[in-house]
Each structure stands twice: as structure tokens, then as C-alpha cells.
Amino acid sequence: MANPYAWPLADGREMLFFSLPSHHPSPVPDRRPLPARGDARSQVRFDRQTGQWVAIAALRQDRTYLPSADQCPLCPSPSGTTSEVPAPDYDVVVFENRFPSLSGADGRAFSLPDATVDDFVSAPGHGRCEVISFSSSHHTSFADLGLPHARLVVDAWRHRTADLMSRPGIEQVFCFENRGEDIGVTLTHPHGQIYGYPYLTPRTDQMLAEARAHRHRHGSNLFADILAREVADDVRVVIRDDLFTAFVPFAARWPVEVHLYPNRFVRNLSELDDAELDAFASTYCDLLKRFDRMYPTPLPYISALHQYSDTDAQREGYFHVELMSVRRSANKLKYLAGSESAMDAFIGDVLPETVAARLRELAS
């Protein structure tokens, strides 16, 4: 696992530099006059109607929004005065978000209150929100990274997953990337985020409930059985080798949606061996390159790494990545309007088999 180089930022946050073997970080003092980090924190409130926790983070209203390239907070700052990265160059960096949705997971014990005692239950927004910048280059993308660099990002994800999973009060660790203004990004520099939640997110909770029910009915793992069925059907498989399989799911919700699974059951990145980590970086980049060949302009997407821990609640979880895009043609987007946003009832615009065939055609 990568051993990052730690460096302090002006307001007390810590930055971690992950570097390729030929590159050694040369950070400089962070000279920005940042305000001290106060006690203002988000809240989590329990929604009695749905049985779900909701984070309320009013401090995020002041976060950076679509700055010009010369004001980008993720570009290198050789002077230590112009961005979040006080260094002349870097490969990959990770640091706590300056405007976090969740914070305070620093080793102190924490547990959510009993949500059954009142109709209006709230708690501090305990957790951790980190930013991971994939490259110092403002005008690149994950798909453009060389394989050693892509593997370095995977190693950084793996390092942060292991760290955050070990912290008291963190129930779920979620690494993700939003790419493209059509998705809603507020920074165009290639980057992602890592969230440590104090609860299981609603989608994860629902998927695990289905997996437990499947285990009870069939005595087998739901995700492994889905993977086996997709491989057997073959019509929606996009990429398959000895270690990984990528397919468009049978009931895809998004115009472009691909799920990437290791062929061996693991719960999170920390359980993959070196050969699997290399294969993961390679297959993941292959998929993103195919995404960018679909239309004349790069495909906006969300990349979601579904990870689980070896606990009673999460034991059936199978690590996989879900890639999705709102673009349904070269010049049309799918908007999550009434049915999707209000009722969570998705309506697909294209056949999953058609999308899979198109992505197979786009191999380099």
C-alpha cells in the first residue's frame, strides 16, 4: 500500500501526497490567511417518513463554485498562497474538504442516537469528507492518466478506505467522482471525493437488505449470482478477463450505466491483491476511454465505488464500481424530474443491450 507524505495546511488540516516512485513531493509552507476552523458543524437529522438520515450542511453554501483555471484550488501553488496544494507539482493529493458535509471523525467515540425515541431526532454531522485530486494537470481526466498513475489513485483510495473504516463512528466509506458540469461539478480540475458516513446510505442499506433476503432464499451471495448470470447471458457484458468483468446491468437506470466487478468476491479495495489492483486500474481506465469515445464531447459521469466491511450488517456486500451518465444522446440529457426525483421510480431511455453493444464497439 502507498505510504503518503503528510503536510500541514494553514488552518490545521492535513494534506497527504501520494507519489510515483520517480517523484518526491516538495511542498512549501501554506501561507494563505485562512480563518481558524471553528466549531460550526453539520447536522444529521432523521427523516421519519423514510427511515433515512439526512445531512444538513449550511456551511457548504460558501464553497468554491466553478472558478477560472487561474483560480483553481486544486492546481499547484509554488508560492503556497494561491490554492489548496502548497507545492510546485504533485502526482496525487488527498486532504479534508474545507467545506465538509460531515466532520469530526478524529478518533473520538461516536454513535448515532436512537431514532425511535422522538419524531424529530438530530445529531452532530460526524464523519469525514476528503478531496482527492488525481493529477496536478488542470486539463486532464482520469481516462488520460498513464496506468502507473491510475494505479496510484487506486492505492490512494485503498489507503483512505482502510484509514476511515478504522475510525470510530464511521459506518460506510464511499469513494466517488463527479465529472462534467452536466453532472453538477463545482470544480473542473480532475478530482474525486471520499466520504466517511456515520450511517449506511439508503441505497447501500437497501441493497444489503436484498442481499440478506437472497442469502436466506438461495443460500448464496446476491451480487455473485448477478455477476454469474450476466456472464452466462453475455449480451450485456462489455469487458471480461481473468480478474474483472464489466457489464451493463439488466435493469439499468441511467442512459449509460456500467458495473465493474472483480471476478473474486471481496468486500473492499483493501482485499484486492496486487495483480487485481493492476487489473482494476487498467479495466477502469479502459471503460472511461470508451465513455469518452461515445460522442463528440466527453461523457459526463458519476463513478461510485461500493465498498463494505466485514460486519453482520455488511457481510453480504461485494465490492464493485457503478459508472453512470445522464447523457442519452450526443446533445440530450436525462433529467431526473417527477418520476425519478419525487418517487425514485426510474424510467430507462435506452435498452441496456444496445448500450452494451455500443461500448463493446468502442474498444481501442
**Catalytic annotation present for 320:** no
DSSP characters for 160-176? HHHHHHTSTT--EEEEE
Q: Give the contacts of 331 (CB within 8 A, at least 6 positions apart).
A: none
- The number of beta carbons lying within 10 Å of the beta carbon of residue 193 is 17
- The number of beta carbons lying within 10 Å of the beta carbon of residue 133 is 28
* Cβ burial, residue 264 (10 Å; 0-12/13-18/19+): middle
DSSP characters for 93-107? EEEE-SS-SSEE-SS
Distance CA 363, CA 68 (A): 34
Q: Which residues on adjacent β-strands are paired with residue 245?
A: 240, 261
Distance CA 319, CA 268 (A): 5
Distance of CA 168 to the CA centre of its chain: 21
Asked if 230 contacts 260 with a C-beta cutoff of 8 angstroms, the reply is no
Which grid coordinates belong to 105? 471523525
Instruction: Choose, from 149, 159, 189, 191, the residue flagged as catalytic.
Output: 191
User: Any idea which residues carry the catalytic annotation?
Assistant: 191
